[in-house]
Structure 1
Amino acid sequence: MSRLPFLVLVLLSACTPVPGQPEPAPSRSADACPHGVEYDVLAQEAAMGLRVLSLRATNCGAEAVELNGYPSVTVLDAERAPLLVAVGQGSFGISAVTAFDAPPQPVVVGPGESARTGLLWRNTYTDVSAPPAVGEHLEIAVAAGRPAQVYTPLDEHRHPVTLDLGSTGKVGVMPWTAMTP
């Protein structure tokens, strides 16, 4: 008679939580927030070729972060290589969008608090000599010269959100704005 089924049963029961006892809360390691900021998608809008991706940056560090101006953003392809895309402040001549063209204001983001920014682009494909540009990842930092991290935008269902730039080659960036709790 083999002892393997008995051993498997013992190992599985050792990994199963006891009913009625609370599971221990996951502990946050120092590596869980290496840049002090975590990003997530707030919303995405698409109308008549104009695209807006709203992003939230949450301070996951222990000290307040002051944001003044625009995040530093590089659009990356599926292999995480930079796309030949111009990234500019405000609406960047893409379309007149008030929130993107508002002057930057200093925003202090305490631990656990968040600020908002956004990306604006057009999905227009007029140059058939090259394939359309599609961004799948962003290299993003809270400001130029600050540590950057690669972020893959995901929607509320955890599906990737792409920047379908077509052949336009331009992305506008909204200044940081405060978020009310």
Structure 2
Amino acid sequence: MTGDAAMGLRVASFQLVNCGTQPYVLEGYPRLSLRDDHDAPVEVSVEHGSAGITTGTPNLDAAPQRVALAPGQAAFFGIVWRNLVTDGTVVATTAWNVEVEPRPGAPRLSLRLSEPVDLGNTGKLGLGPWQPLVR
């Protein structure tokens, strides 16, 4: 996936590799939250798929499926957002950390980003389902 910087469209994808010795099963969507550069929670509405943000993102709009990862196999999910300021009186939101719970009850993974999730003041993020990574 790619984004159009002139339109403020941004996309990113994240991988999870099974580094264990047993199969690891993922279903549906991960739980995702954002944190700012001081590790404070960022208020964001996370929606499944890309509706209301953009169109034509098959990886984000795919039907959720069960993904069984053998040791060494990987899965991925994508996110999409717009850096859009719709109200000049509302401060733009920027997140430098993503927290991911791969499946219910699993430990949360904290990822420091090299580029921020710069939401503007839309407060909206689209989330795709887990998909197997084909190498």
Alignment-derived partner of residue 135 in structure 1: 95
Alignment-derived partner of residue 116 in structure 1: 76
- Give the gaps of 5 or more residues in structure 2: none
TM-score by length of 1: 0.68
Shift of 1:126: 1.8
Cα distance in 2 for residues equivalent to 1:138 and 1:167:
18
Alignment-derived partner of residue 175 in structure 1: 129
Alignment-derived partner of residue 151 in structure 1: 111
Alignment-derived partner of residue 17 in structure 1: none
- Among the aligned pairs, what percent are the same residue? 36
Structure number with higher strand proportion: 2
Which protein, 1 or 2, shows the higher relative CO under an 8 Å CA cutoff with sep ≥ 6? 2
Shift of 1:84: 0.8
SS in 2 for 1:62: coil
**What pairs with 1:1-181 in structure 2 (closer than 5 Å)?**
45-47=2-4, 48-96=7-55, 97-153=57-113, 160-181=114-135
Structure number with higher helix proportion: 1
Shift of 1:98: 2.4
Alignment CA distance shift 1:133-1:175 (3 Å):
same
Structure 2 counterpart of 1:142, one-letter code? P
The ranges of structure 1 where at least 4 consecutive aligned residues each deviate by more than 4 angstroms after the TM superposition are none
CA offsets 1:79-130 (integer angstroms, 9 cap, x no match): 1111111112111421222221111111111221111111110110122223
Shift of 1:57: 1.0
SS in 1 for 2:10: strand
Shift of 1:145: 3.6
Alignment-derived partner of residue 34 in structure 1: none
Cα distance in 2 for residues equivalent to 1:134 and 1:68:
29
SS in 2 for 1:175: coil
CA offsets 1:11-30 (integer angstroms, 9 cap, x no match): xxxxxxxxxxxxxxxxxxxx
Asked which structure has the greater CA Rg, the reply is 1
Cα distance in 1 for residues equivalent to 2:128 and 2:59:
7
- Give the gaps of 5 or more residues in structure 1: 1-43, 154-159
**Does the 8 Å CA contact 1:92/1:171 hold for their aligned counterparts?**
no
Q: How many residues align?
A: 132
Cα distance in 2 for residues equivalent to 1:63 and 1:110:
7
Structure 1 counterpart of 2:50, one-letter code? S
**Does the 8 Å CA contact 2:59/2:78 hold for their aligned counterparts?**
no
